């Protein structure tokens, strides 16, 4: 199956289990992979035959910058559900939500969850 990637989308949200995360907020990075048959779009060179990347970005932004959740798992679920609901051509999606600076002690690049959802 063909894939569309939107990598490194960066947003500011208020998700987390600690009160300061809900008050101060933090940066979230989201990667999305959409499994779509792209043959017709490629042959026709027609946006109507594919997925509009700007719409995927805006949908993702609305969720990450929207109402707070305790868990990034819930944020990822909301994104996946919305993508599958809004874009009928999407057969499967992979959503990765990254917290580059969570308020937990230790040395690491980031923490993240990745989910795979299909129709």
Q: What is the CATH number of the domain that holds 12?
A: 3.30.1130.10
- Asked if 64 and 75 count as a contact pair (C-beta separation under 8 A), the reply is yes
99 is catalytic: yes
CA distance 60 to 41: 23
Q: What is residue 35's predicted lDDT score, i.e. its pLDDT?
A: 98
Say if residue 107's pLDDT is above 90.
Answer: no
The pair phi, psi for residue 90, each rounded to 5°, is -75, 120
Determine which of 6-10, 65-69, 75-79, 99-103 has the lowest per-residue pLDDT on average. Answer: 99-103
Q: CB burial class (10 A; 0-12, 13-18, 19+) of residue 76?
A: buried
Query: Do the domain assignments include residue 118?
Result: no
Query: Do the domain assignments include residue 119?
Result: no
Neighbours of 39 (CB within 10 A): 10
User: Model confidence at 104, in pLDDT bands (50, 70, 90)?
Assistant: confident
* Catalytic pick among 39, 69, 89, 99: 99
Residue 12 sits in which domain range? Answer: 3-113
User: How many structural domains are present in the chain?
Assistant: 1
The predicted-structure confidence for 63-95, as pLDDT tens digits, reads as follows 999 999 999 999 999 999 999 999 999 999 999
H helix or E strand, kind and range, residue 77: helix 72-86
């Amino acid at each position: 199956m063909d894939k569309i990637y939107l990598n490194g989308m960066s947003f500011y949200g208020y998700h987390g289990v600690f009160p300061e995360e809900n008050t101060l907020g933090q940066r979230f990075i989201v990667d999305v992979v959409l499994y779509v048959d792209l043959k017709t779009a490629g042959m026709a060179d027609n946006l109507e035959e594919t997925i509009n990347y700007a719409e995927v970005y805006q949908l993702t932004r609305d969720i990450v910058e929207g109402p707070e959740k305790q868990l990034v798992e819930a944020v990822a679920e909301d994104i996946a559900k919305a993508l599958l609901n809004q874009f009928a051509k999407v057969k499967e999606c992979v959503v990765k939500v990254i917290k580059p600076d969570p308020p937990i002690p230790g040395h690491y690049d980031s923490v993240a969850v990745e989910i795979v959802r299909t129709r």
